[in-house]
Amino acid sequence: MPGAATQSSDRITLRTVEKEDVQFVQRAMANSELRYPIGNRLVNQTQLEEHIENDDSDRFLICLEEGEASPEQPNEADVTRIGEVTVMDAEWKRPELGYWLVPEVHGHGYGKEAVSMVIDYTFRQYDTPAIGAEAYDFNDASRGLLESLGFSEEGCRRKFMFIDGEHRDMVQYGLLRDDWCEEK
């Protein structure tokens, strides 16, 4: 069952990622529609559990909720998991965002809403002047999401990863705290 609610809007709730969510995350990441655009390798459930357990990232499960979903301990039937947003490396360098949604909900604005909520969280939680994110050159949806939130392209890591038969570029983005606060 998903963890405690950390933030909510009218449409989504961000909840902590718990051990019970690993199977959802692992299966979603095995989907080629997701795996290729984000460049993840296949991992089994045990490998993912170990990674999450040893990782100091802030992980948020993106959920759609129905009925009377409890903020603390929701009923499994009241929560639909649709993705994840992660804040990596925040304790020792500029925080980096990672995010994904299951393909069935692409194009409905859930990603922008969730990432926006996590940007607010990150600037409240960490004394950082900026947040970074990356997207592959071919991932127009992810690049568009970042640009719509005010991120600026900062660079390119050429031929960064071998994905689906070819080496692909990774585009780097950054968002300054001052720019985010001005937009709000």
Q: Which domains does the chain have, with CATH numbers?
A: 5-183 (3.40.630.30)
pLDDT band (50, 70, 90) for residue 107 = very high
The pLDDT of residue 95: 97
**pLDDT average, residue stretch 25-42:** 64
The pLDDT of residue 60: 92
Contact in structure between 70 and 19 (CB atoms under 8 Å) = no
pLDDT band (50, 70, 90) for residue 153 = very high
Give burial (CB, 10 Å; 0-12/13-18/19+) of 35. middle
Residues in the chain, total: 184
Beta strands per DSSP E along the chain: 5-8, 13-16, 58-65, 79-88, 96-101, 130-136, 152-163, 166-176
Which DSSP state fits 138?
T
Which tens digit of pLDDT belongs to each residue from 50-102? 766 767 789 899 999 876 655 566 566 678 999 999 998 888 899 999 999 99
Distances (CA, A) of 102 to 26, 148, 184: 12, 20, 28
Contact in structure between 58 and 91 (CB atoms under 8 Å) = no
Q: How many CB atoms lie within 10 A of CB 12?
A: 21
Q: How far apart (Å, rounded) are the C-alpha atoms in residues 25 and 17? A: 9
The pLDDT of residue 92: 86
Which tens digit of pLDDT belongs to each residue from 160-179? 988 878 899 999 999 999 99
Q: What is the pTM of this model?
A: 0.86
| Edge-to-edge order in the sheet of strand 79-88 | 5-8, 13-16, 58-65, 79-88, 96-101, 130-136, 166-176, 152-163
Q: Which is higher by pLDDT, 29 or 82?
A: 82
**pLDDT average, residue stretch 149-157:** 97
Q: How far apart (Å, rounded) are the C-alpha atoms in residues 141 and 63? A: 20
Q: Which is higher by pLDDT, 178 or 27?
A: 178
Q: Which is higher by pLDDT, 62 or 17?
A: 62
